[in-house]
A and B are shown apart, each in its own frame.
Chain A
Amino acid sequence: MAAGTAVKAIDMATAEEFAADEFSRVVERHRPQIFRFLLSSTRDLDLAETLTQECFLKAHRNWGSFRGESSAMTWLMRIAINLQKDHWRNRRMQFWKTTRTNSVDLDEASEWLPSGESSVEQQLLARERVKQVWQSVKGLSERQRTVFLLRYVEEQELSEIAEATALSEGTVKAHLSRAVARVRLELGGKR
């Protein structure tokens, strides 16, 4: 009986260690992507870092309830999207905070374009277009922006986006279509 209890305790300890290892691997693998999504959504470094921390803290607390029905990335992305929504909702409530924002300027955000083998002119043109995309993305609704970024920055499948945003695939398609149309229109108009 005592031996059985001891074995059970060792098993539980081993299982906890295993779960902790698994979670560490998940953090290591997906943290950059979650940070990238939050950074592109908010254009705010401090906020993106804070929300990323909160995302993994929440994930760690609920790691036991994660049953692997979706991929860990989708699960984490859903947490990140909800945190971001909560943040903006709270911020709207705190009206005095709306005047202060740490968002990076669009010019600065557009600077990060690898030079590659293109000419200086091409680089300038590409930078200008990237800036226009940022400008268009800024004007999108929250949901359209999320779907657009998940599709074109994170390169996620529509089904994954649907799972992460808790929307149907049809709704995701509709939002994406509107977002693309708007970005295309703005790019076309300014060209």
Chain B
Amino acid sequence: MSWTDENKENGKNLLEQPALRAVDATDQEFEATLKDFRTSVHAWSDAEFHRPRTVKVEIRRRTWRLAAGWALGCVLAAGGVSGGLLEQHHQREVVRIAVEQKAAAERKQLQEQEARAKVSDEVLLAGVDSDVSRDVPSAMEPLAQLMVDDGTK
């Protein structure tokens, strides 16, 4: 049978075919119910098939896409802002650490200078003391000189 052939069974009640009675319902009420069911499905399908198509699904998809786009945009914006803030904070931290390190180095240098200066002062004073003690004559020197002079006399 080629596809161009019309469906032979269109409009024909298959329940009336004797060969199929073994598997088909025999009860009249049941047959009527099945017929109603078929009619109902056909009517529903015909109505839906010829219903003017709306863009309801498309709108829903668009809405969904729009919402998803907004959500994604918000996430990206929040990510960008938080990333920027994080980067800024990181840079501040780096600068702060660098400043602290520099200050510490300066403090250390100053302390070393102070220490060096203190040491040099002490050395200088010690030098001065020793020089003074060498230059100034002993306190008993004049008396000793006198005694020597008397004995010789």
Measuring CB to CB, which residues of chain A are less than 8 angstroms from any residue of chain B?
A: 26, 31-32, 35-36, 39-40, 45-46, 48, 66, 68, 70-73, 75, 109-114, 126, 129-130, 132-134, 151-153, 155-158, 173, 176-177, 180, 184, 187
**Are B7 and A40 in contact, CB atoms less than 8 angstroms apart?**
no
Binary per-residue interface labels of chain B (22-57) against chain A in the complex, 1 for a CB within 8 Å, 0 otherwise:
111101001001101111111111111100000001
Residues of the B chain whose Cβ atoms lie less than 8 Å from the Cβ of A39:
41, 44-45, 48
Q: Is B9 an interface residue (CB 8 A)?
A: yes
Among residues of A, the one whose C-beta sits closest to the C-beta of B6 is: A29
Residues of the A chain whose Cβ atoms lie less than 8 Å from the Cβ of B30:
184, 187
> Which of A66, A71, A73, A153 is the one whose CB lies under 8 Å from B41?
A153
Name the prevailing secondary structure of the B interface residues: helix
How far, in angstroms, from A180 to B22 measured CA to CA in the complex? Answer: 11
**A113-B23 contact given A71-B5, A151-B14, CB 8 Å threshold:** no
Given contacts A73-B7, A129-B36, 5 further A-B contacts (CB under 8 A): A36-B45, A68-B3, A112-B44, A113-B43, A155-B38
**Are B20 and A158 in contact, CB atoms less than 8 angstroms apart?**
yes
Residues of the A chain whose Cβ atoms lie less than 8 Å from the Cβ of B12:
155
Name the prevailing secondary structure of the A interface residues: helix
Most buried by A among B3, B24, B27, B48: B3
Residues of the A chain whose Cβ atoms lie less than 8 Å from the Cβ of B27:
184
Q: Is B1 an interface residue (CB 8 A)?
A: yes
**Are B37 and A180 in contact, CB atoms less than 8 angstroms apart?**
no
B40 vs chain A, min Cβ distance (A): 5
How far, in angstroms, from A25 to B27 measured CA to CA in the complex? Answer: 39
How far, in angstroms, from A133 to B37 measured CA to CA in the complex? Answer: 7
> Which of B4, B10, B34 is the one whose CB lies under 8 Å from A133?
B34
**A153-B49 contact given A109-B44, A180-B25, CB 8 Å threshold:** no
**Are B45 and A113 in contact, CB atoms less than 8 angstroms apart?**
no
Most buried by A among B38, B39, B44, B48: B44
